[in-house]
Structure 1
Amino acid sequence: MKTTSKEDIRSHCAVNYGVEIFGDRWSLLIIRDIVFAGKKTYGQFLKSEEGIASNVLASRLAFLEGQGVLSKAPNPDDRRKDFYTLTEKGLDLIPIVLNIVLWSAKHDSKSYARDLEEFVTRLSQNPTQVSEELKALVRNGGCMFPDSKG
């Protein structure tokens, strides 16, 4: 884990702060899984195709919760499991994730985003509108691709 508290942040440069909070590979993939696939539980995150190690996943979830990006609550159907959701601070990362999608669609010839041409076109034409729609969807418990929970 990179940092454990706000006091551990190397500098308060705006770019550095962002990198300290969400600049590692796993944090953004956890956020991606919530936004696009609707994943909510530790087990669902563990099944992501990138193959995160269980100890790394536990560490990242705890870190993101500690930083106020995620909130954790017991699953109402199975209190032995927790649901992770994005806080308002976490929802504010959606435009960043969407910009990464646009960048990848442009520069990675094998990007899955290339299969979503209509979405990518709409996103590039109306990024603020798409971002706000997706924030509202996720805030209300939804996700971009509800059939891909895995």
Structure 2
Amino acid sequence: MPRDHRSRCSIARTLDLFGDRWTLLIVRDLMWHGKHHFSALQASEEHVPTNILSDRLRLLIDLGLVRKEPYQERPVRYRYDLTTQGRSLEPVLLGLMSWGHANLGGGRFDPATGHSTPPA
């Protein structure tokens, strides 16, 4: 996974990969929301534009975080799954979710209790 980086800082390097508004949401959907097909990922609440979704999935595959396997031949359709390395992002997502829940007025899921919260 050699890449050119703008900095030697680990935070800057990580943000180069995950600092956009879509990539971690795609990982979230693959990890927790059972969305494994392009159409399901595109239909997420945030409505990732198809060109960006294609680009981010390609990046995640190239980085070894997602694997792509065909499940239908004609037309060819693919299933996307996180690899072990992709699943290793779970503590990062839980940390972001916990911070957001505590500091940005809650959310759909309370990571402290492990329960969904009722809609406001």
Superposition TM-score tier, normalisation by shorter sequence = 0.7 to 0.9
Structure 2 partner of 1:119: 114
Report the AA paired with residue 85 of structure 1: D
The farther-off stretch of 26-35 and 105-114 is 105-114
- Structure 1 Cα separation of the partners of residues 4 and 37 of structure 2: 28
Q: Deviations over 1:42-81 (max 9, x none)?
A: 1111001111111011001001111111111112xx2321
TM-score, normalised to structure 1's length?
0.68
- Which of the pair is proportionally richer in helix? 1
Paired residues of 2:70 and 2:78 also in contact (CA < 8 A): yes
Q: How many residues align?
A: 113
Report the AA paired with residue 83 of structure 1: R
Given the alignment of the two structures, is residue 16 of structure 1 paired with residue 18 of structure 2, yes or no? no
TM-score, normalised to structure 2's length?
0.84
The farther-off stretch of 17-26 and 98-107 is 17-26
Query: Paired residue for 1:25, among 11, 15, 21?
Result: 21
- Structure 2 Cα separation of the partners of residues 13 and 26 of structure 1: 22
Structure 1 partner of 2:118: none
How far did residue 10 of structure 1 move?
1.4
Paired residues of 2:22 and 2:48 also in contact (CA < 8 A): yes
Paired residues of 1:21 and 1:67 also in contact (CA < 8 A): no
Structure 1 partner of 2:37: 41
- Structure 1, unaligned stretches of length 5 or more? 121-150
- Structure 1 Cα separation of the partners of residues 25 and 40 of structure 2: 12
How far did residue 117 of structure 1 move?
6.0
| Percent identical | 31
How far did residue 9 of structure 1 move?
2.1
Given the alignment of the two structures, is residue 70 of structure 1 paired with residue 63 of structure 2, yes or no? no
Given the alignment of the two structures, is residue 54 of structure 1 paired with residue 50 of structure 2, yes or no? yes
The higher-RCO structure (CA 8 Å, 6+ apart) is: 1
Q: Deviations over 1:83-142 (max 9, x none)?
A: 11111211110100011111111012151124x66306xxxxxxxxxxxxxxxxxxxxxx
Paired residues of 1:71 and 1:86 also in contact (CA < 8 A): yes
Paired residues of 1:41 and 1:82 also in contact (CA < 8 A): yes
- Which of the pair is proportionally richer in strand? 2
